[in-house]
C-alpha cells in the first residue's frame, strides 16, 4: 500500500508510523510527506528516513481552495492508496477533498463526536469529563465529522492539565493510528458505498483500541 502523509508540526505520529513499518508491524510504502509549513519537524523526520518531503506555502495562493488543489495535485502525482493526516492543521476545501473521500484518514485528539475542531484537551477538562481519547476517522467535508473507524480512551486524572493529558494520550494515539493503518494496509478496512467496512461488513460502531497493540471487541 502506497501511503502519503500530511503533517503540519512535530511529526510524532509520522515517526510512529515509520518505526512500526521498520519493526514490521506495518508493511506500507511511505511515498511522500507534505506540509503546509516549511519548518515542520515532520519534514525533517521524513527526509532523515529518505522519504520525499515538501512544503507548500499557503500565502503564495490566492484562495484556500487553490492551495488545497495544488497540494492534492501533488499528492495525486504520488498515486497513493491512502492519505494519512498526522497533525495536519489546515481545513481542506470540500470540493477539492471530494475525490479523496474514502482514501483519507485523520487522527483527532478527542472521543469523537465530542470536541471536533481545536483545543480538544482543554475542552474535555473544562467540561469536567472523566474520560478523554483519540479517534481515527475517514476525512469528509464535515470537519472531524467523517465516519469514525476506531478510538482509544484514557481516564482523566484529578490533577491533569492540557499538557499532562496530551502527553499521556500521545503514545496511545500512535498505537491506535498504526493499528488502523495496518487494517487498511492488509485490505481488511475498506471504504464501500460511502461507509467504512471491516472484513466486508459495514463498520457501524467504531473499533476500540486497547492503547497497546490490539483492538478489543469487534473481532479485530
Ligand atoms: N478537512 C476536512 N475537509 N475535513 C476534515 O475532517 C479535516 C480537514 C482538515 C484537517 C484535522 C482536524 C483535527 O484533527 C482535519 C480534518 C484543523 C482545524 C482548524 O481549525 C480543525 C480541525 C482539524 C484540523 N484549522 C484552522 C484552519 O483555518 C487553522 C488552525 C491553526 O493553524 O492553528 O484551517 O483536529
Ligand atoms: C496529535 O495529538 C494529533 O492528534 C493532533 O495534533 C497532534 C499532532 O502531533 N491533531 C490535531 O490536532 C489535528 N488538528 P504530531 O505532529 O506529533 O503527530
Q: pLDDT (tens digit, 9 = 90+) per residue, 98-156? A: 999 999 999 999 999 999 999 999 999 999 999 999 999 999 999 999 999 999 999 99
Q: pLDDT (tens digit, 9 = 90+) per residue, 113-129? A: 999 999 999 999 999 99
Which atom in ligand 1 lies closest to the alpha carbon of residue 8? 32
Whole-number Å distance between alpha carbons of 45 and 63: 29
Q: Which ligand lies nearest to the CA atom of residue 87 in the structure? A: 2
Q: Average pLDDT for residues 157-179, to the nearest whole number? A: 98
Of the listed 108, 121, 137, 209, which one is catalytic? 108
Q: Are 171 and 116 in contact (CB under 8 A)?
A: no
Q: Average pLDDT for residues 163-192, to the nearest whole number? A: 98
* Chain position carrying cell 512500526: 20
Q: pLDDT (tens digit, 9 = 90+) per residue, 63-98? A: 999 999 999 999 999 999 999 999 999 999 999 999
Residues in the chain: 220
Number of neighbours of residue 115 by Cβ within 10 angstroms: 21
- Please tell me whether the overall predicted TM-score, pTM, comes out greater than 0.85 for this model: yes
| Residue of 68, 71, 32 whose CA lies nearest to 51 | 32
Q: Average pLDDT for residues 162-174, to the nearest whole number? A: 98
- Minimum CA distance residue for ligand 1 atom 27: 90
pLDDT at 102: 98
pLDDT at 219: 46
Q: Which residues contact 22 (CB under 8 A, 6 or more apart)?
A: none
> Is-same-fold flag (1-100; 108-220)?
yes
Check if 121 is active-site: no
| Residue of 20, 3, 205, 207 whose CA lies nearest to 103 | 3
- Minimum CA distance residue for ligand 1 atom 17: 89
Is residue 16 predicted with pLDDT exceeding 90? yes
- Minimum CA distance residue for ligand 1 atom 10: 91
Q: Which residues contact 20 (CB under 8 A, 6 or more apart)?
A: 26, 178, 181, 182
Q: Average pLDDT for residues 175-190, to the nearest whole number? A: 98
Whole-number Å distance between alpha carbons of 78 and 150: 27
Q: Are 185 and 32 in contact (CB under 8 A)?
A: no
Domain 1-100: CATH architecture, name and number where available? 3-Layer(aba) Sandwich (3.40)
Q: Average pLDDT for residues 179-204, to the nearest whole number? A: 97
Q: Are 47 and 18 in contact (CB under 8 A)?
A: no
Cα(203) to centroid(ligand 1), Å = 24
Cα(22) to centroid(ligand 1), Å = 29
Residues with CB under 6 A from ligand 1: 85, 88-92, 94, 97, 106, 108, 117-118, 139, 141, 143-144, 146
pLDDT at 158: 96
Is residue 220 predicted with pLDDT exceeding 70? no
Ranges of each domain in the chain: 1-100, 108-220
For domain 108-220, give the CATH superfamily: Formyl transferase, N-terminal domain (3.40.50.170)
Cis peptide before 46 (omega within 30 of 0): no
Which atom in ligand 1 lies closest to the alpha carbon of residue 140? 4
Residues with CB under 6 A from ligand 2: 7, 9-13, 42, 86-87, 89, 107-109, 134, 170, 173
Amino acid at each position: 500500500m502506497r501511503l502519503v502523509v500530511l503533517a503540519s508540526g512535530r511529526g510524532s505520529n509520522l515517526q510512529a508510523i515509520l518505526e512500526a513499518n521498520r519493526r514490521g508491524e506495518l508493511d506500507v510504502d511511505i511515498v511522500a510527506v507534505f506540509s503546509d509549513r516549511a519548518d515542520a519537524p515532520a519534514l525533517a523526520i521524513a527526509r532523515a528516513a529518505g522519504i520525499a518531503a515538501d512544503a507548500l506555502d499557503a500565502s503564495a495562493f490566492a484562495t484556500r481552495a487553490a492551495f488545497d488543489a495544488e497540494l492534492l495535485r501533488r499528492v495525486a502525482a504520488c498515486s497513493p492508496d491512502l492519505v494519512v493526516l498526522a497533525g495536519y492543521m489546515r481545513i481542506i476545501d470540500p470540493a477539492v477533498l471530494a475525490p479523496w473521500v474514502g482514501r483519507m484518514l485523520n487522527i483527532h485528539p478527542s472521543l469523537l463526536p465530542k470536541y471536533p475542531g481545536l483545543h480538544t484537551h482543554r475542552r474535555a477538562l473544562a467540561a469536567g469529563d472523566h474520560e478523554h481519547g483519540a479517534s481515527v476517522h475517514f476525512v469528509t467535508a464535515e470537519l472531524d465529522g467523517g465516519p469514525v473507524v476506531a478510538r482509544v480512551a484514557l481516564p482523566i486524572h484529578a490533577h491533569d492539565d492540557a499538557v499532562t493529558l496530551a502527553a499521556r494520550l500521545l503514545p496511545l494515539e500512535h498505537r491506535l493510528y498504526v493499528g488502523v493503518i495496518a487494517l487498511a494496509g492488509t485490505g481488511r478496512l475498506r471504504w464501500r458505498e460511502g461507509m467504512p467496512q471491516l472484513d466486508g461488513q459495514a463498520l457501524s460502531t467504531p473499533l476500540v483500541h486497547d492503547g497497546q497493540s490490539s483492538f478489543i471487541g469487534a473481532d479485530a
